[in-house]
Structures are given as C-alpha cells and as structure tokens.
Structure 1
C-alpha cells in the first residue's frame, strides 16, 4: 500500500511513454495472441472467436486477472497498467498481433491445416451450419465452393509467418462467409426470391406429408430471429451489468486508497440498484464452456429444427448434377478495395443491402462476436474468386450476373 507511483517493473514504466514505438509490448490482448498462436500451432479444435468468447464469458481469466495471482505476486505502481483491462478483446487486434508476434519470433511454417483438421473450411462449415440450424444438405454445397476456389488447399490455409505475399486466413470468418455465399447461390437473398421459394415449400409441405419436409426460409427466419433476439438481449444485459472493477481494487499509492474505495462502493451500489430495476440477478455460477451457443434437436416436436429438411424445392437436376433453380446472382461489390489503404476489402452499410442478407450476416456476426462488415469482406473475397472470369467480362455498372 505504501508503494510509490514510480515503483514497479521496467515494463510498467514503458506504459507512460506516449511516443514509445515498440508495438509488441506485453499486454493482455498480446497474451491472448500468444494463446491463439499456441492453439494454431497445436491445431487445437478452437477458433479465435471461441477463444475470445470464452474470455468474455469468464472461462479464461482476463479482466481483473490479478485476482488470480498468488499472494506473493503483489502488483506495484505502474505494473497495474499492464493488467488493468477495461474493454473486451477485439478479434481484429488479437489476430493482427498474433501475426506480428509469429513473424517477430521468426517461427517456421506452422503445422499443415489438412482436410482432417478442425480449422479446415469443410469442418467449420459443418459446425456453423449446425449452429445456424440450417439443412445438412447445404454442407455438400459449401464443400463444392471450397473446392471450386481452392480455399481448402493446405498451402492456402497454413500460416507462414512473415510471408506478406499471402492473405492470412481467419478460419472461422472464412467458413461462415462460404455459408453466406452458398445461401446467396441457392436463395439469392434479395428480399424477394427467398420468400417466393418459401411460399412454394410451405404449400408443398401442407399437401404432401410423405418424405422429409422442404426447407422453408420464412419459417427458419422466424425461429432464428426469435432465438437470436433473445440471446442478443441477454448478452447486452450481461455486458451492461458487468462489474469492471474487482472485489479488492488496487491503487497506485496509499494516498489514492480512500478515493478508489469510495468509487468502488459507488459502483457496487449502482450495480445492485440496476439489478433490482431490471428484475434480474447475475448468475452465481458460470455454465461450462461450450463450442455451441445454440442447440437444435431433431427430436423437438415443435418443428424448430431444420437440419433434416430437404433442399429439393430450390434444386434441379441438370446433366446428372444438382444445380440451383435460381440462375442469377448479385455481387456485394464489383471491385475489391486495397485492404492496406482502406482497412477493408469492401465497404458495408446495412441500408445498401437486402434485409435477408443483413440478417444472415447478423446471425453469424453474433456467433463469432465480430462486426458484420468483417464477414462481408470475406464474402466479397470469395465472390471475387468464384466469379472472377465472369466478373471481369461484365460491364462495371451491372452487379447481377448469370451463374
């Protein structure tokens, strides 16, 4: 308690240097980058979005992490700045720092990501199709897209630190973007075609009880929207009620002790009042971590599970192959931006795109806890590869192409 404001380690003093150019200082987000780099090296079945979600849910010590330190490890002075975190970890920051860290350590090529690895697009697409409550048959289409544009190749997926010629893969974002592209291929997602298909499937399901039911986009939308809104509200409430300060606050000097304790008491009082007004209390126990946030079972009698539903209503057989009845496709963008200059491959505004497309992005952005624009970027990159020849032969003002 009697430590000076200038006490602490050398690392702690670096945090006062505003013009310090060293980017790879040890921070809590950098620690997560270390963890993710290790998971990637070991090819563990965990994505970056899962890692960050486990942090937010409290399964991995991150906020107020010093509460878990042994009694002998007492933080002093400026070292508090290293461990005092007052914001949630950001996907893009952790991923970028991981790449910089791997290059700084001069690590060799990471172990190969093969088709049997959890991080392979085919594997992750299966996972996210299940979690999004979409038909199992869509997995055949995601695999076809992955093969078509060669994003399942080992050389494409495997990280080579320091290699600036290749675009670094965000495995979870890539997988959900493939699913979005497949949904556009089959259902168009233009706020018109998917609803007409749904009306046809609904009529067929009413009049024909034989065989499996046809997939109804409208019914799926209602089921998912209800669950998504409920989970989003729960998440927002949890974040609003989160107590950023620890039970035993730390302070830089003895002189600031009384002020810190008063602020702490004020926060506790506000927290209790908010809990009473909202009528909800913070759960005493944290549930066990799970890779899935939504659970859908075909045993449910309410018809809320769509895994076994058929895509026959949107497919047709052509020269021995199943193809989409829909011959058209609209592109998210005609030309990709320079990612280094713009920070994005494409620009995304909700008002510029159909609501069905935005809803699908919103669903997967919730599952990955990232902004919809990140998924939109990856969708644009996949479309560029998938329709490269047709895209560059079309007039630049036309965003619709024939498949």
Structure 2
C-alpha cells in the first residue's frame, strides 16, 4: 500500500465508492448507503445515532475480552451491543448482493495488485502472481496472522479475511477489468515489443520452460506478426472500451505456441508420430555435427510426460495436505484461549508422529520464488534438453525458405458460441480432441495453473482464425463452413 501507484488506486477506489475522501450529508442512514458505503469515513464525521445503528446490526460476541480503542471515541453504547464485534461496516461487506460486485475482498486485493503491476509493466504475469500466492510467498491465506497487535480481527471481519479456497484466474482477471473501468482509469501504458508482457517475450519464456526448440520462436513471431497480436493498440488495456478484447498475456502466449505446434505437427495422434520417424531417418542421413540434433516430437513427449506426471502429482499432494488453519490460532475469549492452544498442540504432535511413520520430512524452509517451474539444462548428458535441437527434420526448403512439410490444420469445432450469452467462444471437452493436443494443453495449463479450456478458447479466437485464411494450404472458409471436431482440411 506504500507504493505510489497502488496507493493512488486505493484512494480513488475509496472516493469513487464514497467510503472516504468525500462529503456526506449529516445524519445519512444506513439504508441510503450501498454495500461499498460505510461510516468509516472519518472526514465526514457521521452523527452518533448512525454509528450506533451500524454497531447494532453487527454480530456480537459476548465472550470477547479486549481493549477497543474505537469505543472511547464513540462514547457510551448499549449493553446489548458489543463494541468488539468487528469493524463498523463489517456486516455490510459480508452481505451478499449480486448487484454490488466491487466489494472489497481477498480476491479483489489480488485484482488491485495485478492492476498496479500491469500499469507499471512489471515482469510478472497474473498466473505467476497467483502461483506465488498459493506457494505462500504473498500473504493471502490467513493474512491476518501478519497483522500488528492493534489490528486484531473480531466478529464479522474474520469472515472477510478467512479464505479457504484457491484464487481463481478468471475471477481475479475479470474483477481487475471491472475495477479499472469503475475507477475511470485512462489508457494503460503501451505494451511494446520490448516489454515482458509482449507475446514475443512471453513465448520465448514458455518455450524454454516447455523444453521446446529455440527455433520455434521464429514461428511464434510469424504468427504474432501475421495476426497483428503484437501491436500496442491490441495489447494495451483501455478501461471502459467494451469493443476492445481484454488480453490475458500469459494465456495468449501459450495459445500462440499451441497454434504453432498444430501448424507444424498437426497434433492429430497420427501425423506427429510420422514426422518423428521422418525426422529420425533424416538425422541418420545428416552429416554429423551439421545444424545440431533434429527435434523429434516422440522423444520430447516421453521426457515431458514423465516430468509432468511427477510435478502434477507433487502439486496435488501439496494441495491435499494444505492446512487452512493458520499457525497462529485465533481465540475470541480468555476462557477459550487455553482450550484452543491445547488443541493446536495436539494437532502438531499428531502431524509430527504421522510424518515420522510415513518417512516424510518437512522442508526446512520455503524456497525462494522463481519465474520458472521447470528448468532444463543443455549441459545434461541424458539428452533431456531440446532447446538446441533443429527443426530441419520436419521442414522443407522452397524458394530458399524453410517451410512446414505439414499442409493441414484442423479447426476442432463445428460451432462457435456467442461469447456474450454463455461467456465462452469455444467449448472444450477432452474426449472430443486428440490426445496429443490435450497433452500440450495440459502442459501449459500446469505452467499457468489454469484450465486447459482457457488456452483452447484463446487459441481459437478470431485473430488466430485470420491466420488460417492466409496460411499456405488452408482453405478460405466462412464461419459456417468450419469442419467438425477432429476433422481437417487442406
């Protein structure tokens, strides 16, 4: 909150939602306020009856025994109302109302952070931000245990800060877009080709992490160039512009790589294996040391599948073992304090005993956050790194240029949905698509911690379809004539 950009965003939010930095008529009642409105605005100096009304609608806890500095400023309150039942507007924030979507919450806090990162063009994507949250590098789950002593939580405030679910990419992103429009922010700083969030840069990062050849970056660059997805007007967020598509930079980069793999290898559970055999035969006839080893999809698949299965199992186990209760227990009264501490000690003893019996050792400390989840070194002698491999085994030379041997491309749908009605442009079901295609989606969904359907939908979007109309060998068809799932055309 001390950051200049984020602090200004927060102040603007308080003013736009009339929670602070605004003038309010004296004696305004709670019924005239929205969910975002509250009497916490100290500048407006609301009258005492209004404040007492706020306290009366909050849930009280008679066992709470603590000092409440705010009570002295309020004056005398009735005995039936607990001054330590939480913040004055706590009951308003936990009240569910579909019309008021921009209530502050823990996911909204992440939306604020990502909006500030995007404004500053920091080298961090939304998927990385959420991954750092899950890994515990950013206070989110049980964040109140980091609060100072004078900011103890009571009553309804616990329901606001107690989060027992993983942050969802779509929810945080959509809230960020709504928030930027609500604040009437101007056009964000341009995303240029030297910015980390540009598709060319992100494609290079994800190609390295997916252990794919460096030469594929030339092809992703061509796709981005041909579809105009690398232009600043397309990439830059303009709040309030409903006609402009809101770009998810990390998902877009992953979708571009998937499109390139389909263009080169088809990914129909048949052609990519034939290309692997063809590349292997070419490698035998190739002069030793000329152009480096040829890339074979079959070998890459075996290496990545083994690694991905291990990492996915490890991730699933970590999520299953995650303790939602904080290390620093909360107790609401002196009477319950000793009971809660004894129960906590018992849980820790049982965990230690089960850990010794199972042979599992707790990590000494949390590892430092890293932008890469999978690392591949060309120095390994086991041949598990494919960064320096050449694509010449699957390319052919025409007019002095290397082009793809594959001339087919399948569009994997028979109908495009209305995005305004159902929220999706194209739907994805695993059983309707080739296994190789699903494996590639699964790889990038693991790296981004999102659903495979999100990458599928992004790759199917209209700008990528423009590519098919101009790519050599593809038929120019209108939207109604698209082939069904799994089919392909020349």
Match of 2:264 among 163, 178, 186: 186
Give the equivalent residue in structure 2 for 1:318.
398
Please give the root-mean-square deviation of Cα atoms over the aligned residues, in Å: 2.2
Give the equivalent residue in structure 2 for 1:392.
478
Give the equivalent residue in structure 1 for 2:240.
162
Normalised to the residue count of structure 1, the TM-score between the two structures is 0.93
Give the equivalent residue in structure 2 for 1:240.
320
Q: By how many angstroms is 1:335 displaced? A: 3.6
Cα separation, partners in 2 of 1:10 and 1:338, compared to 1, 3 Å: farther
Kept in 2: contact 1:33–1:95 (CA 8 A): yes
- Count of aligned residue pairs for this structure pair: 402
Q: By how many angstroms is 1:25 displaced? A: 1.2
Give the equivalent residue in structure 2 for 1:283.
363
2:403 partner SS: strand
Kept in 1: contact 2:209–2:375 (CA 8 A): yes
Aligned equivalents of 2:97 and 2:346: distance in 1? 35
Give the equivalent residue in structure 2 for 1:23.
101
| Structure 1 unaligned blocks of 5 or more | none
| Structure 2 unaligned blocks of 5 or more | 1-63, 67-81, 471-475
1:199 partner SS: helix
Aligned: 1:2 with 2:2: no
Superposed CA deviations along residues 249-268 of structure 1, whole A, max 9, x for unmatched, are: 22456676677667656754
Kept in 2: contact 1:334–1:391 (CA 8 A): no
Give the equivalent residue in structure 2 for 1:215.
295
Superposed CA deviations along residues 101-141 of structure 1, whole A, max 9, x for unmatched, are: 11111100000001110000000000000000000000000
Aligned equivalents of 1:272 and 1:331: distance in 2? 53
Q: Which structure: larger Rg?
A: 2
Superposed CA deviations along residues 31-78 of structure 1, whole A, max 9, x for unmatched, are: 110000000000000000010111111111111111111122111211
Aligned: 1:292 with 2:378: no
1:183 partner SS: helix
2:392 partner SS: coil
Q: Looking at both structures, which has the greater relative contact order when contacts are Cα pairs under 8 Å and sequence separation is at least 6?
A: 1
- 1:123-142 maps to which residues of 2 (within 5 A)? 123-142=201-220
Kept in 1: contact 2:102–2:179 (CA 8 A): yes
Normalised to the residue count of structure 2, the TM-score between the two structures is 0.77
* Stretch deviating more after TM superposition (253-262 or 305-314): 253-262
Aligned equivalents of 1:321 and 1:334: distance in 2? 34
1:322 partner SS: strand
